[in-house]
Chain A
Amino acid sequence: DGGITQSPKYLFRKEGQNVTLSCEQNLNHDAMYWYRQDPGQGLRLIYYSQIVNDFQKGDIAEGYSVSREKKESFPLTVTSAQKNPTAFYLCASSASGADNSPLHFGNGTRLTVT
C-alpha cells in the first residue's frame, strides 16, 4: 500500500541536541511538507519542497532545517536553535504543489525535549 511513513512515533531528546525526524513516501509525489501541531492550534507550515534538491521556508522555519536529496525522502532536523521544540510533527505530500492537489499525511512524530 502506498503512503507516508514517519519514524519514530515518539522521540525524546535533551535540550541542546539536534534531532532528525524521518519522512518517507512511496506515492511518487513531487511535493512534500512539514507541519508542526501544538495543542489547541492548527497546523503551521515549517518547510515545503516541490521538487528534488529544492525547498522553501514556511511560516515557522526558524530553528529547523530540511533536505530533499531523493524524491521519496524529506527529513526534518530540529536544531538546538529552536526555542520550543516539543510538539507533534506531521509530514505530508501531494502529487504536485499546484491547485487542488490534496495533501496526504503521515501519522506524525511526537517530539519531547527536556
Chain B
Amino acid sequence: GDSVTQMEGPVTLSEEAFLTINCTYTATGYPSLFWYVQYPGEGLQLLLKATKADDKGSNKGFEATYRKETTSFHLEKGSVQVSDSAVYFCALSDRGGSARQLTFGSGTQLTVLP
C-alpha cells in the first residue's frame, strides 16, 4: 500500500537557519504530494502541493519539488522564523489528489529559537 516516511523530529533551529525536512513516499500510481502544517492547538493547514513529477510547490517561503526518480518531496526554507515553529506533515494522494485517499507521514516537530 501507499506510505509516507518523514524525517524524525524534533528539529530545533536558530532563527534564519536553513530548513530541510525530508519526505519519501511509496505509491503504486502517480500520486499528488502535499505538505500540511499544524500550529500548536490547531488543525492542519495546507502549506503547498505538487501534482506531477518535477512540479515545485511553494508558499510562505517554503518550497518542495516532486522528484519521481527519488520518490521524494523534501520541504525547504532558506531562512526560518520563530513563527515557523509547528508540526509539518507530508502526505500523498494516489487518486489524483482526492482527499479521501490521503496518506499522511508521522509529522516532524520544528522548533525555531530566537
A59 to B42: give the CA distance in the assembly, Å: 23
Show the binding face of B for A, using Cβ within 8 Å. Answer: 4, 32, 36, 41-46, 49, 51, 89, 91, 95-100, 102-107
**Which residues of chain A are within 8 angstroms of B100 by Cβ–Cβ distance?**
31, 33, 45, 48, 50, 56, 58, 97
- Cβ-based interface call for A103 (8 A): yes
A-B residue pair count with CB separations less than 8 angstroms: 74
Find out whether the CB atom of A107 lies under 8 angstroms from the CB atom of B41.
yes
- Cβ-based interface call for A2 (8 A): no
The 3 lowest CB-CB distance pairs between A and B, nearest first, are A105-B43, A42-B104, A100-B97
Q: Which A residues, 46 to 98, have Cβ-Cβ distances below 8 Å to chain B?
A: 48, 50, 56, 58, 90-92, 94, 97-98
Residue of chain A at shortest CB distance from B105? A42
**CB<8 Å pairs between A and B, sample of 14:** A31-B99, A31-B100, A33-B99, A33-B100, A40-B107, A41-B106, A42-B104, A42-B105, A45-B100, A91-B43, A97-B98, A100-B49, A102-B99, A103-B99
Show the binding face of A for B, using Cβ within 8 Å. Answer: 4, 6, 31, 33, 40-45, 48, 50, 56, 58, 90-92, 94, 97-103, 105-108
Find out whether the CB atom of A101 lies under 8 angstroms from the CB atom of B45.
no
A91 to B99: give the CA distance in the assembly, Å: 13
- Distance in angstroms from B11 CB to nearest chain A CB is 14
**Which residues of chain B are within 8 angstroms of A101 by Cβ–Cβ distance?**
97-99
Find out whether the CB atom of A103 lies under 8 angstroms from the CB atom of B102.
yes
